[in-house]
């Protein structure tokens, strides 16, 4: 199912290309030329990609209010926390920190689901339905969306993105709460670098940088920061490759140990 394009020139600056994993997070894995190395599973080859590349994005799978509202807050809170971790300013987590991590982890994965399986437009037409009191123009619809207001189209349909947004927000809240006082640990690679999957639904990992990530375990971590051998990094990278649907990426895939070669 294709997305609904904006007016020519996108005059109201609605976000069309919506990152599932934030551009800021991807940029931490960029090399000197500003690219990451990305392995496309469908083509079985490696390409160079900027963090802004549309391959990382859904296309208007949720509305502008979600994109610039609660999602942005979840992202901003996590990026501030990630910055402190990478600056070695934070090695143990308070309850509020764990909430930030849980919400971001759930948001990333739930957005990845909606990228793969978009909510379809829904018709509200009913027998003996009198009609709409007003049919908004395309420009008016976009202005209203910019202000956080959803509209009904002239054919009595509601765009799927307006239905997806409250669902995403609810599922993020429910999933994050279900994780409870999660046992996130800071992992740092002593040798080798981490691979980033396009989703982590099947693994409890949050990438931070080429040599740092967060890992969820069933028990409280023994140490605040765990240093990993190259074999342990390889095990995580294999799990990341297995978890990915369409692609995975890294700063330099040749520096990422795995049990078996790819590409």
Q: Are 20 and 112 a contacting pair, CB within 8 Å? A: yes
pLDDT by residue (tens digit) across 209-260? 999 999 987 677 667 789 999 999 999 999 999 999 999 999 999 999 997 5
Q: State pLDDT tens for residues 103-115.
A: 999 999 999 999 9
* Sequence ranges of the domains in the chain: 17-121+159-249
Helix axes 160-179, 70-86, angle to 10 degrees: 40
Tokens of 62: 């949720």
Distance in angstroms between the alpha carbons of the first and the last residue of the chain: 30
Q: Which residues in the chain show pLDDT less than 70?
A: 1, 126-131, 218, 221-222, 260-263
Q: What is the pTM of this model?
A: 0.93
Residue 172: enclosing H or E segment and its boundaries? helix 160-179
Per-residue CA distances from 173 to 33, 44, 61, 105, 251 (Å): 38, 36, 19, 11, 32
Cα–Cα distances (Å) from 189 to 60, 90, 92, 214, in that order, read 36, 17, 18, 12
């Amino acid at each position: 199912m294709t997305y609904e394009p904006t007016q020519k020139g996108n005059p109201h600056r609605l976000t069309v290309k919506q990152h599932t994993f934030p551009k800021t997070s991807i940029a931490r894995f960029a090399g000197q030329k500003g690219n990451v190395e990305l392995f496309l599973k469908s083509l079985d080859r490696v390409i160079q990609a900027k963090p802004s590349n549309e391959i990382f994005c859904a296309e208007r799978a949720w509305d502008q209010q979600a994109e610039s509202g609660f999602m942005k807050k979840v992202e901003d809170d996590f990026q501030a926390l990630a910055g402190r971790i990478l600056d070695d300013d934070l090695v143990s987590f308070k309850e509020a920190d764990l909430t930030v991590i849980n919400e971001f982890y759930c948001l990333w994965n739930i957005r990845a689901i909606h990228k793969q399986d978009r909510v379809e437009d829904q018709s509200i037409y009913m027998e003996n339905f009198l009609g709409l009191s007003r049919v908004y123009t395309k420009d008016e619809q976009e202005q209203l969306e910019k202000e956080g207001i959803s509209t009904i189209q002239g054919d009595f349909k509601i765009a799927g993105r307006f239905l997806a947004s409250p669902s995403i927000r609810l599922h993020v809240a429910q999933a994050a709460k279900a994780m409870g006082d999660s046992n996130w640990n800071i992992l740092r690679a002593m040798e080798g670098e981490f691979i980033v999957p396009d989703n982590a639904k099947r693994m409890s990992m949050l990438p931070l940088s080429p040599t740092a990530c967060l890992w969820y375990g069933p028990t409280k971590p023994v140490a605040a920061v765990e240093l990993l051998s190259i074999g342990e990094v390889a095990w995580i990278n294999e799990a990341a490759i297995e978890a990915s649907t369409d692609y995975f990426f890294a700063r330099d895939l040749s520096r990422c140990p795995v049990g078996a070669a790819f590409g």
